[in-house]
Structure 1
Amino acid sequence: MKVNHAGEHGAVSIYAGQIFMARFTAKSILPELLTFKADEEKHRTTFCRELQRRGLKRCKSYWLCAAGGYVLGIGTGLFGAHAISLTTLAVERTVLRHLRHQTELLAEDFEAVSAISSILNDEQEHHDAAANHSHTSGIFGRMLSTAISGATESVIWLGMRV
């Protein structure tokens, strides 16, 4: 739950950075990015409540996720709508796999599974919307997607261990 909370904070920061840059590079997707950011803020609140229910402090990687997310958002936002969509697609693909795995591991904890399940649909919608915007990526897209997926996996791995 701690990593999920930190990850949602990172997602809010990714969208904040992308929204800032999209005002210059991808105005057409600003409404969607604003909606996605609002969803991630709700998810962060859901996991915050779950941490409080369990009497846990937030993850030590919370601020690292925020800083890294904002830098990622600004960086990918510089390249416009396609890079923004590829970023969302790569992050959400990794997050969906992580959350689904958690629902299996936490099957006996109804509240935890309920919290995760309430978020899965939004994350799937973000993934699918980004997939609809993405077209054949070429070498740049494949490299970006691979790098972002790897970074997301690394942040999850690190968060589970600090």
Structure 2
Amino acid sequence: MSTATAPLESSLLGDRILKVNHAGENGAVHIYAGQLLLARLTAPSLVGEIAEFKSHEERHRSIFWAELERRGRPRCRSYLLCGVGGYALGLATGLFGRNAIAATTVAVERVVLRHLRQQLVDLQGRDEAAQRAIAAIVAEEQQHHDQSAAHIQSQALWLRLLSPLVAASTEAVIWVGMRV
């Protein structure tokens, strides 16, 4: 790669990552919105925590959007898909209560944290602004994972099946987002 194209390619990578992360945060906001709606009935003890996590995700989405706007970039084409899919996932898991809500958060955050950490490595020395935006959210994403893991009180078969399904769906959405 010539030095003339290196900054452009680095910027394009940072742009793509920011767009996908922004769409993913929109999905997370909507997962929590769906869960919040039903948790009032199925897991009232989690309502405050879900609301807090949702507010974190709204802030994370704003961080990525601000950086995309600064760069003059549009949102990802998968943005609406992430919102609709996230809301459907939130409703479905909210319906099943505390363990399903917690297991969903753990599965999503496990995938997200792995991607965020890899993005930080991939952007090292290439796109400091994108790196800063990503680094700004990692601690809260870890908090969501850890707090939710502490809530899981069942090892029921359906929960053991839910986690890989949610993780695979999250991976698929990231994969599609990086390619559209």
Equivalent in the alignment of 1:95: 112
Residues 71-115 of structure 1: per-residue CA shift (max 9 Å, x gap): 000000000011000000000000000100100011122111111
Q: Deviations over 1:103-147 (max 9, x none)?
A: 001112211111101100000000000111113423111110000
Tell me whether 1:22 sits opposite 2:45 in the alignment: no
TM-score normalised per structure 2 = 0.88
Tell me what 1:51 maps to: 68
Identity of aligned residues (%): 55
> Cα deviations across residues 19-76 of structure 1 (Å, max 9, x unaligned)?
0000111100000000000000000000001111222100000000000000000000
The DSSP-based 3-state class of the residue aligned with 2:153 is coil
Alignment of 1:2-41 (within 5 A): 2-41=19-58
Listed as ranges, the gaps of 5+ residues in structure 2 are 1-17
2: CA distance, partners of 1:37 / 1:124: 14
Q: Separation in 2 of the partners of 1:157 and 1:135?
A: 31
Of structures 1 and 2, the larger Rg is shown by 2
CA RMSD of aligned residues (A): 0.7
Q: How many residues align?
A: 162
Q: CA deviation at 1:18?
A: 0.1
Which 5+ residue runs of structure 1 have no aligned equivalent? none
Give distance in 2, aligned partners of 1:49 and 1:128.
Answer: 28
Secondary structure of the equivalent of 2:124? coil
